[in-house]
Amino acid sequence: MDLFILSVSGGLGAIVRYLVGNIIMEKYPDPPIPMAMLSVNILGALGLGLFYGAYFRYIPMDAYDNLWFLALGIGFFGAFTTFSTFSMEALELFRKKSYQRLVWYVAISLLGSIVMFSVGYGLGLWI
């Protein structure tokens, strides 16, 4: 049953990532940094933080047996966000010698995700 829930929620997260990414790429067809994955990762961090704050009220390190964590934390948000695509896009900026864009992309991605997770977590606690 756990694998079924993980598969469905992960599939939904991947579909939403694809749709959101396409919308952003249509709106910004030639961005200076990869806006689609940057936006998806920051939105995912916000959503995961909101979930943690609202549902758990703390950040559990042993939540793998929790059905909601499996479905939302690992499944949906795990598939919605993507560190592998972030890494590939960062390496591509490096390969193109776009060092300034690379630094901005990495900094905004990492700091933005941490900040937005914190904002989401705080909002979740407030709800």
Which residue numbers belong to the known binding site for Na(+)?
78, 81
Residue list for the binding site: 78, 81
Give the integer Cα–Cα distance in Å for 2 and 76. 13
Amino acid residing at 65: D
